[in-house]
Amino acid sequence: MSSANEKPTPSEASRSASPWIAFRHATFTVVWTATVVANVGTWMYNAASGWLMTSLDADPLTVSLVQVASSLPMFLFALPAGALADTVDKRRFLIGCEIVLTIVAAASAVLVGLNLVTPPILLLFTFLLGVGAAFTAPAWQSVVPQLVPRQDLAAAVASNGVGVNISRAIGPALGGAVIGGLGIAAPFWINALSNFAVIGALLWWRPASSQGSALPSERLAGAMVIGFRHARFNPRLRATLVRAAAFFFFASAYWALLPLVARNQIAGGPELYGFLLGAIGVGAVVGAFMLSWMKAIFGSDGLVAAGTAGTALSLILLGLARYSEIALAACLIAGISWIAVLATVNVSVQVSLPDWVRGRGLAIFVTVFFGAMTAGSALWGQLASGIGLPAAHFLAAAGAIAGIALTWRWKLQTGAGVDLAPSMHWPAPVLAIDAAADRGPVLVTVEYRIAPERRESFLIHIRDLEQQRRRDGAYSWDVFEDAAESGRFLETFMVASWLEHLRQHQRVTNADRAVQDAIQEFGAAAQPKVTHFVAANFRQSS
């Protein structure tokens, strides 16, 4: 195996860059095909629901609430879904969720066919389907490594991105055509039926059994708290979240207002709306194949800035569009820009996370993503009601451009060269008492003896340990100086239970170890003294 600093050979680079390598694995091919079919149905539903709302209530705010109802569940439920994905059988969980989603989708199709749908009912069903998508998204992401061997994982991730954009290109255009030919209820029924492809693929797939950690699984509530704490004290992840929020908030404008651009501004029908959504998908597919070229020219930060500028241009064109040709060009630019930004920030999240918290870190990213989309959709719909469609688009474009400058200091993919593999260098604690797994809290102290002349430098560097300890599960941290003995310092941190401290042993990375070794070089003693204190159990005598 090559080291992290070695460059791949041309054949290796070609292999990792090609999204088609993964299709030589039958399991991946079957599941990928089924998810593309289901995603086509989902995009047909999204196009049909947006168009139906323009018939039920053409107020811009009401129409934009369709996007809000679709995005809000991801904001509300992505984090618990990410934690849940680590504690259940993923295959069974996905089968159950897909069955429920099929029932809900079929119920919405029945109501549409019977002309019983009102704006609140349409928003309710859109929200419920969004809840299902929110709970299945982390599980779907986490099963990908089980479908292909490790060396083909990058290709599988790239193939999934291509599949999403293919369905985004086909689904809306097909939805518009189906509405025109078979009526508004047809896309709703197709969405319900398309889920059977995924259910069948999951029933057919038999994943190999794997051995997990010797420690028990984390509980849902505790896993969520640890996930939040990790995000708060992971500066690379925080920087990515800031850049993502700044982009998606303003990019949400064209997603929320596109039905009104097609219907009111250009005076087109459902076919035009479908083609506009399809053009975004086509642009995204084209952009996916241009990513490596664009990344080589702009770099990660420059590519996000260029994608944001492209989005601003598309917003301006949509604000000016009175003819379908201009709107189609705007949507193509929007699609290329969308995939350029989305893929770059997604990779930035991935390289900032160790494996043990990857699901929760991605879920937090999804929460920020859809939270920005939800808030933005509501705002741009409200503004369009007050100042008109063109002005709302222009204002969103100006905000996107301003966001480039305001967030530039938060850099992306700074964790690309960081070794986040577990170091496993902490020795197992020596116990003289019974420390049950749930006993706690636990106080850990690390005693350092520092040459007095190096005091200031030591205090500066030891602050790096605070983020490590808190990021890996500690809820408090401090460092104390012995008032009676110069050069004697005591680092302290607390974790919720003995089991949580044992998990800390598995979470320390090789990059963390390098920081810890550097701090130890300040001391005169070879090794700091580590002590563990467990909260005493007080028992009242009867």
Q: Who has greater pLDDT, 127 or 542?
A: 127
Q: Quick one: pLDDT band at residue 330, thresholds 50, 70, 90?
A: very high
| Per-residue model confidence (pLDDT) at position 8 | 41
Is the pLDDT assigned to residue 514 strictly greater than 80? yes
Q: Who has greater pLDDT, 511 or 520?
A: 511
Segment 439-451 shows an average pLDDT of 89
Phi and psi at 37, nearest 5°, equal -60, -45
| Per-residue model confidence (pLDDT) at position 392 | 95
Q: Where in the chain is the domain with CATH 3.30.70.100?
A: 442-534
How would CATH label the architecture of 442-534? 2-Layer Sandwich (3.30)
| Per-residue model confidence (pLDDT) at position 216 | 67
Rounded Cα–Cα distance for residues 456 and 116 (Å): 72
Before 354, cis peptide (omega within 30)?
no
Contact, 367 vs 71, CB < 8 A?
no
Q: Where in the chain is the domain with CATH 1.20.1250.20?
A: 19-205+218-406
Q: Quick one: pLDDT band at residue 10, thresholds 50, 70, 90?
A: very low
The two beta strands, 529-534 and 488-495, are unpaired
Task: Provide the residue type at 275 as one letter.
Answer: F
Rounded Cα–Cα distance for residues 308 and 297 (Å): 16
Q: Quick one: pLDDT band at residue 506, thresholds 50, 70, 90?
A: confident
Segment 66-91 shows an average pLDDT of 80
DSSP state of 427: P
Contact, 77 vs 216, CB < 8 A?
no
| Per-residue model confidence (pLDDT) at position 162 | 75
Contact, 362 vs 141, CB < 8 A?
yes
- Estimate the crossing angle of helix 220-232 against helix 235-260, to 10 degrees: 100
| Per-residue model confidence (pLDDT) at position 166 | 78
Rounded Cα–Cα distance for residues 424 and 455 (Å): 29
| Per-residue model confidence (pLDDT) at position 541 | 43
Is the pLDDT assigned to residue 395 strictly greater than 50? yes
Segment 514-521 shows an average pLDDT of 81
Is the pLDDT assigned to residue 24 strictly greater than 50? yes
Q: Quick one: pLDDT band at residue 210, thresholds 50, 70, 90?
A: low
Laid out side by side, the sheet with 529-534 consists of: 476-481, 488-495, 442-449, 529-534
* Mean per-residue pLDDT of the chain: 84
Contact, 135 vs 90, CB < 8 A?
no
Rounded Cα–Cα distance for residues 327 and 318 (Å): 6
Integer-rounded Cα Rg, in Å, for the chain is: 26
Judging by beta carbons within 10 Å of its beta carbon (0-12, 13-18, 19+), is residue 167 exposed, middle or buried? buried
Segment 504-511 shows an average pLDDT of 86
| Per-residue model confidence (pLDDT) at position 422 | 78
With vertex at residue 368, the alpha carbon angle to CA 364 and CA 373, rounded to the nearest 5 degrees, is: 145
In this structure, of 227-241, 485-499, 502-516, the range with the lowest mean pLDDT score is: 502-516
| Per-residue model confidence (pLDDT) at position 452 | 82
Segment 281-290 shows an average pLDDT of 83
Residue 328 structure tokens? 């189609």
The two beta strands, 442-449 and 476-481, are unpaired
Q: Which range scores top for mean pLDDT: 3-12, 95-104, 279-288? A: 95-104
| Per-residue model confidence (pLDDT) at position 155 | 67
Is the pLDDT assigned to residue 11 strictly greater than 50? no
In this structure, of 153-162, 337-346, 421-430, the range with the lowest mean pLDDT score is: 153-162
Segment 386-399 shows an average pLDDT of 95
Is the pLDDT assigned to residue 2 strictly greater than 70? no
**Which CATH number describes the domain made up of 19-205+218-406?**
1.20.1250.20
| Per-residue model confidence (pLDDT) at position 129 | 92
- pTM of this prediction? 0.77
| Per-residue model confidence (pLDDT) at position 400 | 96
Residue-wise pLDDT tens digits, 97-138: 999 999 999 999 999 999 998 999 999 999 999 899 888 887
Q: Who has greater pLDDT, 86 or 340?
A: 340
Segment 230-249 shows an average pLDDT of 93
Is the pLDDT assigned to residue 217 strictly greater than 80? no
Is the pLDDT assigned to residue 200 strictly greater than 90? yes
Q: Who has greater pLDDT, 466 or 171?
A: 466
Q: Quick one: pLDDT band at residue 38, thresholds 50, 70, 90?
A: very high
DSSP state of 426: S
With vertex at residue 33, the alpha carbon angle to CA 335 and CA 358, rounded to the nearest 5 degrees, is: 70
Task: Provide the residue type at 332 as one letter.
Answer: L
